[in-house]
C-alpha cells in the first residue's frame, strides 16, 4: 500500500504535470469508487482548472478553480498515470506493464493530456468535496500529525508516545490517528534502524530508544521521498515507473534472508493484521 513517500511522490509529480490544466472530461468504469456519485463528480469537475496539489496523510488533494477539491486515496494498488498527447516510446512500454493496465477512471484535459487511475484491487476511491470541507471528511478529520510535519519535533513525538504507554510500538506506528503517513513497509524499516523490537510496549521504551525511533522515522521517510518511494509490488509513479527505495530495504519482505547487521536471519510475524519484519539480535 502506498505510504507517505509514495503519495508525496505522486503529489509532487501532479504539481508539475496537472496544475494549471483544465479538465475537459472524466470517465469511469468503476463508478462505485466515485463519490458522491459518478454523475455529480463528473458534472463538478468538467470545465474546472486544477489549481493546487497537496498531501494530507496518505490522501492526494487536487484543488479546483471552482472551490471544490478532488480527494484521492490510492488504498492497496491504486496509482495515477499521466499521459502526454505524444506518448514517447519508453513511456508506452512502461504503461503497457500489466500493473499499469487496470485503468478504472480517467481525466481528459482540454489540451489532450490524460490522467488515468489504475487500480487492480478496486479499493481506491476518488471524491469531490468542497475545499473548505476536506479537513472535515471522516477519513481526514481523525488523522494525527503528519510524520514529516516540521511541527513534529522530538518533544511533540515524545508527548504523543506518553499518551499511549500500553500500546505496542509496532502497532502504534501504523495508527493514522496517532501519527499519519507510516504503513507496513516503513514501520518495519524504522524499528529495525532504531534497534527496537515491534512488540515492545511504549511505556517501557527509554528516552534513548524513543530518540532513535524518532530519528529513524524522519530519516527513512525523507530518504524514501527522495528515492520516489518503494515499488515492491504495484506502486508506480505518474510515469508508470518504479520508485527505488526497495533497493534499500533492510528487513521488509526479507524473511529468511541474512540480516544486514549481523549473522542472523530476518524474521516475521503478524502484528495488526500485517506482517512485521525484524531481526532477533539487532532489535532489543
Kindly state the greatest CA–CA separation across the chain.
Answer: 60
Catalytic status, residue 97: no
Catalytic status, residue 36: no
Stretch binding Zn ion (CB under 5 A), from 91-99, 185-193, 235-243, 264-272 = 264-272
Q: Minimal distance in Å, beta carbon 264 to Zn ion?
A: 5
State the catalytic residue, choosing from 241, 253, 265, 274: 274
Q: Write the CA distances from 62 to 18, 66, 68, 228, 241, integer angstroms.
A: 9, 12, 9, 20, 22
Stretch binding Zn ion (CB under 5 A), from 13-21, 98-106, 180-188, 263-271 = 263-271
Q: In terms of CB distance, is 39 or 262 closer to Zn ion?
A: 262
Whole-angstrom Cα distance, residue 239 to residue 19?
16
Q: In terms of CB distance, is 125 or 192 closer to Zn ion?
A: 192
Distance between alpha carbon 182 and the CA centroid of its chain, in Å?
8
Stretch binding Zn ion (CB under 5 A), from 34-42, 71-79, 223-231, 254-262 = 254-262
Catalytic status, residue 114: no
Q: In terms of CB distance, is 56 or 279 closer to Zn ion?
A: 279
Q: In terms of CB distance, is 187 or 250 closer to Zn ion?
A: 250
Q: According to CB under 5 A, which one of 45, 124, 251, 279 is a site residue for Zn ion? A: 279
Element (H, E) at 162: helix 154-162
Q: In terms of CB distance, is 193 or 239 closer to Zn ion?
A: 193
Number of residues that make up the chain: 284
State the catalytic residue, choosing from 58, 83, 210, 236: 58
Bin 51: left if φ > 0, else alpha if -120 < ψ < 50, else beta. Answer: alpha
Is 255 a binding residue for Zn ion by CB under 5 A? The answer is no
Query: What separation, in Å, do the N-terminal and C-terminal C-alpha atoms of the chain show?
Result: 27
Q: According to CB under 5 A, which one of 219, 257, 264, 269 is a site residue for Zn ion? A: 264
Catalytic status, residue 3: yes
Near Zn ion in 85-124, by CB under 5 A: none
Q: According to CB under 5 A, which one of 50, 221, 259, 276 is a site residue for Zn ion? A: 259
Give yes or no for a contact between 126 and 61, defined as CB atoms under 8 angstroms apart: no
> What secondary structure does DSSP assign to 170-228, as a single string?
HHHTT-TTTEES--HHHHHHHHHHHT--TT-BGGG--HHHHHHHHHHHHHHHHHHHHTT
Q: Which stretches of the chain bind Zn ion, using CB under 5 A?
A: 259, 261-262, 264, 279, 281-282
Q: What are the residue numbers of the active site?
A: 2-3, 58, 274
Amino acid at each position: 500500500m502506498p505510504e507517505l513517500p509514495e503519495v508525496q511522490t505522486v503529489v509532487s509529480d501532479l504539481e508539475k504535470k496537472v496544475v494549471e490544466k483544465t479538465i475537459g472530461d472524466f470517465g469511469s468504469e468503476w463508478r462505485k469508487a466515485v463519490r458522491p456519485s459518478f454523475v455529480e463528480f463528473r458534472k463538478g469537475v468538467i470545465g474546472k482548472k486544477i489549481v493546487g496539489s497537496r498531501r494530507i496523510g496518505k490522501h492526494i488533494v487536487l484543488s479546483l478553480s471552482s472551490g471544490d477539491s478532488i480527494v484521492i486515496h490510492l488504498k492497496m494498488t491504486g496509482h495515477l498515470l499521466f499521459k502526454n498527447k505524444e506518448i514517447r516510446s519508453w513511456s508506452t512500454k512502461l504503461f503497457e506493464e500489466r500493473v499499469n493496465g487496470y485503468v478504472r477512471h480517467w481525466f481528459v484535459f482540454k489540451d489532450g493530456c490524460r490522467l488515468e487511475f489504475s487500480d487492480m484491487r478496486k479499493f481506491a476511491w476518488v471524491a469531490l468535496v468542497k475545499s473548505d470541507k476536506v479537513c472535515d471528511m471522516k477519513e481526514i478529520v481523525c488523522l494525527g500529525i503528519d510524520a514529516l510535519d516540521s511541527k513534529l519535533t522530538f518533544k511533540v513525538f515524545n508527548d504523543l508516545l506518553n499518551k499511549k504507554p500500553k500500546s505496542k510500538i509496532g502497532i502504534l506506528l501504523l495508527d493514522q490517528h496517532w501519527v499519519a503517513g507510516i504503513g507496513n513497509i516503513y514501520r518495519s524499516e524504522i524499528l529495525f534502524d532504531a534497534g527496537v523490537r515491534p512488540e515492545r510496549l511504549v511505556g517501557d521504551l527509554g528516552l534513548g530508544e524513543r530518540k532513535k525511533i524518532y530519528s529513524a522515522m524522519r530519516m527513512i521517510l525523507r530518504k524514501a521521498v527522495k528515492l520516489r518511494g518503494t515499488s515492491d509490488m504495484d506502486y508506480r509513479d505518474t510515469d508508470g515507473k518504479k520508485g527505488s527505495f526497495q533497493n534499500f530495504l533492510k528487513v521488509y519482505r526479507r524473511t529468511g534472508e541474512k540480516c544486514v547487521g549481523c549473522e542472523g536471519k530476518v524474521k516475521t510475524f503478524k502484528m495488526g493484521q500485517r506482517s512485521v519484519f525484524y531481526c532477533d539480535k539487532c532489535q532489543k
